[in-house]
Amino acid sequence: MKNYIREHIYIVQAPWGDMLQVWREQPTVDGDAGSENIKETSKIFVYKIDMAAKKLVEINGLHGHVLFLGHSQTQCLSVGEYSQLKANCVYFTDDVRFISLYQNSKRDVGVLNLENDTREEIVPQIYCSWPNPTWITPSLRMMHSGLM
């Protein structure tokens, strides 16, 4: 495991059975006028954890899946089940723990394409002191059983 302050590391089980370790590189960039410097996601590395060999093997694709990264949880979902999502992309939210220190900075929220490392904003830049954005996964089974 690397020991870099600029990276967040996540663990997620892929639907095809592999355990993945995901490294999110976030170098500090200059903030807008009047705001603090911020961390901005620039690259994401995805590794398969090879338990037998006790090593990480970098993978270059998600086999028709997407990743969601953030402070609340990490998930890997099939694009076949969620056709509005972009395959081989990572959707991420800001996971700054001490938001009160960064209340005048923009939030690091977007989509990063693993094929070409391009970054896309999914919401207008947010400046606020509200808690971190979170991913919410509704369960249709739970909603249905609550109606009966």
Residues 68-123: pLDDT tens digits?
Answer: 988 767 899 999 888 888 999 999 887 766 555 556 667 788 899 999 989 988 76
pLDDT band for position 148 (50/70/90)? very low
Question: How far apart are the C-alpha atoms of 128 and 102, rounded to whole Å?
Answer: 9
- Which among 7, 2, 5 has a CA at the least distance from the CA of 92? 7
Supply φ then ψ for residue 99, to 5 degrees.
-60, -30
Residues 6-61: pLDDT tens digits?
Answer: 568 899 999 999 999 999 888 777 666 555 667 788 889 999 999 999 999 999 88
Print burial letters for 9-32: b (CB count within 10 Å at least 16), e (below 16).
ebebebeeebebbbbbebeeeebe
Q: Would you say residue 65 has pLDDT above 90?
A: yes
Amino acid 99: pLDDT: 55
pTM of the model: 0.75
Amino acid 37: pLDDT: 65
